[in-house]
Structure 1
Amino acid sequence: MNRRTLLKTFAALSATPFSTQLFAAPATQQRFLLVFLRGAYDASNVVIPTSSSFYYESRPNIAIAKPDADPHAALVLNADWGLHPALRDTIYPLFQAGEAAFIPFAGTHDLSRSHFETQDSIEMGQDLGGSRNFQSGFLNRLAAQLNAGSAMSFTDQLPIIMRGDTKVANVGLLKAGKNSLDDRQSKIIAQMYGNTKLESQVENGFAVRGEVVQNMKAEDAARQTMNVTAGANNDGNRDAISSKGFELEAKRIGKMMRDKYALGFIDIGGWDTHVNQGAATGVLANKLEELGRGLAAYKTEMGSMWKNTTVVVISEFGRTFRENGKRGTDHGHGSAYWVLGGGVKGGKVVGEQIALTSASLFQNRDYPVLNEYRAVFGGLFARAYGLNSKQLDSIFAGVPGLDLGLL
């Protein structure tokens, strides 16, 4: 390999969408996957306040009808809440089986309504009023407490939520099979780092890449038939994948987490629906259908490990309770979180709740946040991993966990 080729090879190595860290088998049998919907999804049309007449007054064009025999009507969760019909065949069966629950009025107290600022705030999981460390994400701090050493971010770049003292791998599944390094070049680079401090990291990095690429080769033909692109050019996507093709990505994630990784993170973009959002059908409904199929595929791929798996779906904030003049919704505040898993005590809508009226809206426009996200996650982590108050404080300083009885 001459100097020019060597420099090109190093450039290719630095551009590969995975880190040079690989860890041993998980120290815990529990699996946790966080799914981040970037762009702020409209929780009010997913976990629907069907008992609120104010909801129907506020959304004359985009409201989801109250539950009835119409296939476009909301699916019954309880007397007050319904689920978007696009999730009828995927998430609703999990809810009926007690493997899914929903937490409305959830979120952060960050009031910037900026996609990027709020995403950063949530991923750091730190006090809004104190000094902030962008190199310390709350899933990284969780990995440190678990001594798991088996965390993976299924993203091109390592997100804030996975940054920290514990080394975490990342792999962009959309691009992992496009790396320009061949086996010969990989061996040459590995030999160059022989007998150095970086030897094991380089070897393990190539092992991650090799494993992912090998798994993807068998799927190339299927992928050719799908219109899989990066996230739509909406605000707040941060190069997250699109919901299109998420089903295939979720299968790949399931294979890797089933056998190797205890903690996982994936983000999906395109949820910023300012214009023509749709109701039971349309833009949001299509994305929800794709998301639901992906999550159902993940469950299938996890197999017997599903009983030890928890999946949480969140977004940076909710959207305005009232529809706007373009039959869409704008940046809001409170949202609704999903909790899925084989060990989840689901089939219910949990957390602090209030009747939705004009007077109960936050700043006369949004869901209030009644279930603070760090408290929600802290409660789940305590239940899933048996963490004590001191351990939880190292993840979310000064925030006691909120036990919602889901695990």
Structure 2
Amino acid sequence: MSQSLSRRRLLHALGLSGVGLLFTPGLLRGVQAATPPSRRTLVTVFLRGGVDGLSLVPPVEDAAYHRARPSLALKSSGDGAALSLSSPFGLHPRLEPLLPLWKEGQLAVLHGVGLPTPVRSHFDAQDFVESGTPGRKSTPDGWLNRALGSEAQAHAAPLRAVALQSTLPRALFGDAGALAMGRLEEFRLRVGNRGAQATRGFEALYAGAVDDALRTTGQGAFEALSHLDEEHLARLPPTSGVEYPRAPLGQRLADIARLIKGDVGLEVAATEMGGWDTHAAQGAATGTFANRCAELSGALSAFARDLGPRLEHVTVVVLTEFGRTVRENGSRGTDHGVGSAMLVLGGGVRGGRAYGRFEPLTADRLQDGRDVPAWTDVRAPLSEVLRACRPGVDLTRVFPGYSPGTPLGLFT
């Protein structure tokens, strides 16, 4: 760590006073030069708990769907009906804030997305999705980190990869440096799989940086963060008229938008939202699941409106570890399944349409007679997203052993 960056300056600059992260114009020039203009910023939102894709994007025209869910199926018309999308699908009514993005061709949906081999354990399924190597538990790094590390990093921006959540997600584990922060005001540094995470604030972080690799690789991030410009923060509020939900996802996406608008060289941002494990009292148009949908759509809609024209240079992927059973259970909920739905929105997306294979939900077409199959391997849309956001990325390194089939055509 350079002599110019004293411990006192570090603690002051890194926001113990509660300010967010913004950078001086001198630093911004270096950061901007490090980010190729052809790239888009990739934002991932992981919905933890296993989202019921059949409620998120319900196949309202499928008679078998209605038979399997006497209390949970969403109607195609009337009070509490699903919003009309491409046949046979609708959109959960509490996702209505996303409907303008669909109509403007900036939002696409996929159904029957999941791991190629059924995994109904939350822990294992999340691990396989985020490592990008289904069935292999020994993989030390994550698919997002490998995507970053597949290119030379000599001129990479210090804040090229950021996780807006309390811990670094599995997808960002690896040798390419990444920052994890609950909020911009309170973040922790982790560099590769040898990183250190502070328990509270930056004093613990500073004291814990005993590994030479952390000191060396993390120096760029420390140097960048020492140039925080508190006076700039007030000039980057949300766009006029945009109000983010106060729940965690809304606040995290607000921070990601601030980093994007601050031109800090952000290439990848990851965040998450829990509460999707709906075994009981799931609800249909109202209830637990509906409330989750309202929070999700409110946050994503605010993020898109906040970015405005900048959304053309950002792609957002909303994914989960698995779906739910087709048939509702005795507690008016759903149990762990296989295939689920995915949302992709933003720059270059060929939106306003549904992608992927989907068949009527009769028992003979279901996985093990009970689940939506993973007709589309989760790595297929993620591969197309990476090609669109990071032209030239080495997908054989990001998803080893995986050979994409016929392209889905998600991007222009």
**Fold equivalence (TM over 0.5):** yes
One-letter code of the match for 1:201? G
Q: Which residue of 2 aligns with 1:273?
A: 278
Aligned match of 2:190: none
Corresponding position of 1:398: 401
Q: Relative to 1, partners in 2 of residues 1:209 and 1:278: Cα closer, same or farther, differing over 3 Å?
A: farther
Please give the alpha-carbon distance, in whole angstroms, between the structure 1 residues aligned to 2:200 and 2:227.
Answer: 10
RMSD after superposition: 3.6
Q: Does 2:118 correspond to 1:108? A: no
CA pair 64-41 structure 1, distance change in 2 beyond 3 A: same
Q: Distance in 2 between matches of 1:123 and 1:77?
A: 29
Question: For 1:55 and 1:319, how far apart are their aligned partners in 2?
Answer: 13
Q: Could you report, residue by residue, the CA deviation over 1:317-356 in whole angstroms, capped at 9, with x for unpaired residues?
A: 0001111111111111111111111321110011122222
Give the conservation status (yes or no) of the 8 Å contact 1:381–1:387.
no
What is the alpha-carbon distance in structure 1 between the residues aligned to residue 336 and residue 299 of structure 2? Answer: 26
Question: For 2:130 and 2:81, how far apart are their aligned partners in 1?
Answer: 35
Distance 1:204 1:375 in 2: 33
Residue deviations 1:333-388, cap 9 Å, x none?
A: 11111111132111001112222212111111110001101122112222333336
Structure 1 residues 383 and 400 mapped into 2: Cα distance closer, same or farther (>3 Å)? farther
Cα distance 1:365–1:127, how it changes in 2: closer, same or farther (>3 A)? closer
Distance in 2 separating the partners of 1:366 and 1:210 = 52
2:128 maps to what in 1? Answer: 121
Q: Corresponding residue for 1:132? A: 138
Note the alpha carbon deviations across 1:219-268, whole angstroms, 9 max, x for none: 9xxxxxx996xxxxxxxxxxxxxxx3422321111111342211111011
**Aligned with 2:291 (options 263, 278, 286):** 286
Secondary structure of the residue that 1:171 maps to in structure 2? strand
5+ unaligned residues in a row in structure 1: which ranges? 1-5, 220-225, 229-243
Alpha-carbon offset, residue 299 of structure 1 = 1.2
Match of residue 316 from structure 1:
321
Structure 2 SS opposite 1:172:
strand
Gaps of 5+ in 2: 1-6, 15-19, 21-26, 188-198, 238-243
Q: Which amino acid aligns with 1:40?
A: G
| Per-residue CA distance 1:9-51 (angstroms, 9 max, x = gap) | 99xx9xxxx9xxx994433541111110001111101111112
Match of 2:80 among 64, 68, 72: 72
Q: Closer, same or farther in 2 for the Cα pair 1:131/1:35, shift >3 Å? A: closer
Partner of 2:218: 201
- Provide TM-score, normalisation by structure 2: 0.77
Q: Distance in 1 between matches of 2:369 and 2:214?
A: 58
1:260-286 Cα offsets, whole Å, 9 max, x none, are 211111011111111101100111111
Amino acid at match of 1:250: L
Aligned length: 358
1:31 aligns with 2:31: no
CA distance in 1 between counterparts of 2:74 and 2:395 reads 39
- For 2:120, the aligned partner's letter is R
Give per-residue Cα distances to partners, 1:156-206, cap 9 Å, x unaligned: 222221011211122111871896568xx99xx69x99xx99378357337
Q: In 1, distance between residues paired with 2:389 and 2:108?
A: 16
2:266 paired with 1:257: no
Q: 1:163 aligns with which of 156, 160, 173?
A: 173
Structure 1 length normalisation: TM-score? 0.78
The amino acid that maps onto 1:114 is S
SS in 1 for 2:183: coil
Describe how 1:273-352 pairs up with structure 2 within 5 A.
Answer: 273-352=278-357
- Asked if the contact 2:245–2:295 (Cα under 8 Å) also holds between the matched residues in 1, the reply is no
CA distance in 1, matches of 2:116, 2:376: 10
The reply on whether 1:365 has 2:373 as its aligned counterpart is no
| In structure 2, distance between residues paired with 1:382 and 1:37 | 23
- Residue matched to 2:69: 59
Q: Distance in 1 between matches of 2:375 and 2:229?
A: 41
Distance 1:131 1:121, change over 3 A: closer
Q: CA 1:176/1:378 → structure 2, altered by over 3 Å: closer, same or farther?
A: same
Q: Following TM superposition, by how much is the alpha carbon of 1:138 offset from its aligned partner in structure 2, in angstroms?
A: 0.3
Could you report, residue by residue, the CA deviation over 1:111-167 in whole angstroms, capped at 9, with x for unpaired residues? 331111110111111152x5622x310000111235574111112222221011211
Contact 1:110 1:121 in 2 (8 A): no
- Residues 1:87 and 1:202: Cα distance change in structure 2 (over 3 Å): same
What SS does structure 2 have at the residue aligned with 1:55? helix
Q: Deviations over 1:62-89 (max 9, x none)?
A: 11111x3x3510111122111101011x
Q: Distance in 2 between matches of 1:276 and 1:76?
A: 25
Report if the CA contact (8 A) 1:110-1:118 is conserved: no
Aligned equivalents of 1:127 and 1:290: distance in 2? 30
In the alignment, which residue of structure 1 is the partner of 2:359?
Answer: 354
